[in-house]
Amino acid sequence: MERVVLHVDLDQFIVAVELLRHPELRGRPVLVGGSGDPTQRGVVAGASYEAREAGVRSGTPLRTAAARCPDAVFLPADNETYLAASAEVMDALHELGGILEVAGWDEAFMLVDTDDAEQTARVVQRQVRERTALACSVGIGDNKLRAKLASGFAKPAGVFRLDATNWVAVMAELPTDALWGVGAKTAKKLAARGIATVGDLARAEMADLAGVFGPNIGPWLVALAHGYDSTPVTDEPYRARSRGREVTFQRDLRDVEQVRAEVRRLSHVVAADLAAEDALARRVVVKVRNSSFATHTHGVSLPSPTRDAEVLERAARSALDRFPLDRPVRLVGVRAELVAD
Does pLDDT of 108 surpass 90? yes
* Sign of the CA dihedral with 87 first, then 21, 25, and 35 last: negative
> Do 101 and 147 meet the contact criterion of CB atoms below 8 Å apart?
no
- How far apart CA 194 and CA 172 sit, in angstroms, is 15
Residue 341 pLDDT = 67
- How far apart CA 98 and CA 113 sit, in angstroms, is 7
Does pLDDT of 238 surpass 90? no
pTM value is 0.83
- Transcribe 219-248 into DSSP letters: HHHHHHHTT---PPP--SPP--SEEEEEEE
Q: Is 106 annotated as a binding residue?
A: yes
Backbone angles phi, psi at 94, to 5 degrees: -55, -35
Average of per-residue pLDDT across 91-109: 95
Average of per-residue pLDDT across 297-316: 97
Catalytic residues: 107
298: exposed, middle or buried (Cβ count in 10 Å: 0-12, 13-18, 19+):
middle
Hey, what CATH topology would domain 2-13+80-162 get?
Alpha-Beta Plaits (3.30.70)
Tell me which of 228-242, 270-284, 300-314 is least confident: 228-242
The domain limits of the chain are 2-13+80-162, 14-78, 172-225, 242-338
Segment 71-83, tens digit of pLDDT: 999 999 999 999 9
Residue 51 pLDDT = 96
> Do 308 and 271 meet the contact criterion of CB atoms below 8 Å apart?
yes
Does pLDDT of 237 surpass 90? no
Segment 137-187, tens digit of pLDDT: 999 999 999 999 999 999 999 999 999 999 999 999 999 999 999 999 999
> Which runs of E-coded beta strand occur in 79-203?
99-104, 107-114, 136-141, 159-162
Q: Which residues, 6+ apart, have CB-to-CB distance to 42 below 8 Å?
A: 33, 34, 35, 61, 62, 248
Architecture of the domain delimited by 242-338: 2-Layer Sandwich (3.30)
Q: Is 321 annotated as a binding residue?
A: no
> Do 34 and 3 meet the contact criterion of CB atoms below 8 Å apart?
no
- How far apart CA 47 and CA 59 sit, in angstroms, is 10
Average of per-residue pLDDT across 227-245: 90
Mean pLDDT of the chain: 95
> Do 265 and 299 meet the contact criterion of CB atoms below 8 Å apart?
no
Angle of helix 256-277 relative to helix 309-320, nearest 10 degrees, comes to: 140
What CATH number should be reported for the domain whose range is 14-78?
3.40.1170.60
Average of per-residue pLDDT across 176-202: 95
Does pLDDT of 44 surpass 80? yes
Q: Identify the three-state secondary structure at position 106.
A: coil
- Transcribe 240-293 into DSSP letters: -SEEEEEEEEEEEE--HHHHHHHHHHHHHHHHHHHHHHT--EEEEEEEEEETT-
Segment 318-340, tens digit of pLDDT: 999 999 999 999 999 999 999 98
Residue 147 pLDDT = 98
Architecture of the domain delimited by 172-225: Orthogonal Bundle (1.10)
